[in-house]
Structure 1
């Protein structure tokens, strides 16, 4: 795969302009080959406003692991020519050393993209690409399940696959809803409480966040919700706070088996119900931090843990 290299500003501008304004991938023949199912030109709305795509993109650069998963899910995987360094799913994703946190416009341009998908934190790169007429979609981290479903639909439309985008969003929503409803019935009035730990610094997530909303769907109490300073939905809790709230389950969104042992060995944590009952659950770090189609797997993991804890009680 091409490696990033420094380009003079004039050459960079020329390369980007050529990729946006010409080339076989933007021809009418490509529009016809795609079946015109997207009804191009198509206007979609991203985090910065309305974005119009004149033709189906055939060379997509995805600098967001979640966006990469969504693009493959809606059937646009063959059109993704490069993905960022953390896009490790699916296995055939064209992972590169491109950074999604600090994108290099020069490195991105080497892939001659006709669509770049970025995370919201990369707004500066988005502005530079748009200056030379490269279509860019800026997708923020979803804060609700509905936002995640909406992004799946949007990427379906943007890639000329609106029906597939709707199908994926509807399927994921239906499966998550079914898992949540069945789990709520199974745990009944167990009145379980949970603590979700994002990292060793004991940052957590309230019900105002994406992962917090998922827990809320199961009808459990999130101890982070009563923290004095929720810090935009991600408060840093103290050991004393967690021990006092005494959660029935602890979910870890990082680390390996060593992380479970480390949490168990914290001072006074042996008093916590979750620790006494070995109900410290290590979630897949990637799945628990993304809001793509694999949220179904996350819901299943949470469901299994909650059901087992309710049966213990």
Structure 2
């Protein structure tokens, strides 16, 4: 059986979980807002921005969180007003846009403070591929784009089913969250779900949320393929973090690739196209 080491270094920004219940929308943290149309939204999550553009709800975006990487569609999002860092949002900055809704990233939020002054807000959290599809429908309800959101959701369901029906990849995968120190994703993370969807047997050490991975552990798995993403500039990065990686099949056979995890883990509709690319790369 082929063993595969996949190194995913990401900026964990988000895949999301929203639920409609009793005419309200709830997030994973118990926060809720009224289920109605919102017209002035400050967004601190890039996946949400991309989804709103896909739904043609971009006119409802009044500002987005500061960003270094491109957000689709870049030619339009690059000119959006900035609302400050997603990890340390400022209430004063938020209020300067006079929003009727604020959507925060899990990296930082001011939900409690905004609640005191009557500004609705939610936290968008990392979940699963099915969550992405469901959240698109919720965002459609919040921006009066129900018809459009149902259409997009239906298309993504078909794409997800197509991915499930592809010829399965075979092998063992170890996914790393970082190389400094080298650490793995948890079992319930989106990267693990994606690779298992493609047929890989993903190794997830049971110690800790993001477990540190030793050189000895990597060598014991002896991967055949290594995929580096956003945080890996070259092979030297991996060698410094995991010296024994030079003894693996992946290193010896020059089976080293890179994947743009900014798209893969952003949690927008675009992740499904990115999974197709990952599949072709590993096939």
TM bracket (short chain): 0.7 to 0.9
Comparing 131-140 with 88-97, greater Cα deviation is found at: 88-97
**Which position in structure 1 is the counterpart of 2:175?**
196
Structure 1 unaligned spans of 5+: 1-40, 308-313
**Which position in structure 1 is the counterpart of 2:191?**
211
Q: By how many angstroms is 1:292 displaced?
A: 1.4
**Residue among 244, 247, 263 paired with 2:223:** 247
**Which position in structure 2 is the counterpart of 1:179?**
163
SS of residue in 1 equivalent to 2:63: strand
**Which position in structure 1 is the counterpart of 2:33?**
51
Answer whether contact 2:23 2:35 (CA < 8 A) is retained: yes
**Which position in structure 1 is the counterpart of 2:93?**
107
Answer whether contact 1:248 1:279 (CA < 8 A) is retained: yes
**Residue among 101, 119, 123 paired with 1:138:** 123
Equivalence map 1:1-313=2 (5 Å)? 43-47=24-28, 48-54=30-36, 56-86=37-67, 88-90=70-72, 91=74, 92-93=76-77, 94=80, 96=82, 98-123=84-109, 125-142=110-127, 144-184=128-168, 187=169, 191-200=170-179, 201-223=181-203, 225=204, 227-229=205-207, 231-232=208-209, 234-255=210-231, 258-263=233-238, 266-307=242-283
Q: By how many angstroms is 1:134 displaced?
A: 1.5
Q: By how many angstroms is 1:80 displaced?
A: 0.7
Q: What is the aligned residue count? A: 254
Answer whether contact 1:183 1:303 (CA < 8 A) is retained: no
Higher helix share: 1
Q: By how many angstroms is 1:264 displaced?
A: 5.2
Answer whether contact 2:83 2:94 (CA < 8 A) is retained: no
SS of residue in 1 equivalent to 2:195: helix
- 4+ residue runs of structure 1 moved beyond 6 angstroms? none
SS of residue in 2 equivalent to 1:243: helix
**Which position in structure 1 is the counterpart of 2:4?**
none
Q: By how many angstroms is 1:213 displaced?
A: 0.6
Q: TM-score, normalised by structure 1?
A: 0.74
SS of residue in 2 equivalent to 1:96: coil
Higher relative contact order, chain-length normalized (CA < 8 Å, sep 6+): 2
Return the alpha-carbon distance in structure 1 between the equivalents of residues 274 and 196 of structure 2. 14
Return the alpha-carbon distance in structure 2 between the equivalents of residues 208 and 132 of structure 1. 35
C-alpha deviations, 1:213-239, integer Å up to 9, x for none? 11111111112x2x241x23x222111
Q: By how many angstroms is 1:296 displaced?
A: 1.5
SS of residue in 2 equivalent to 1:297: helix
Q: By how many angstroms is 1:107 displaced?
A: 0.3
Structure 2 unaligned spans of 5+: 1-21
Higher strand share: 2
For the aligned residue pairs, the C-alpha RMSD in angstroms reads 2.3
Q: Which of these two proteins has the greater Rg computed from alpha carbons?
A: 1
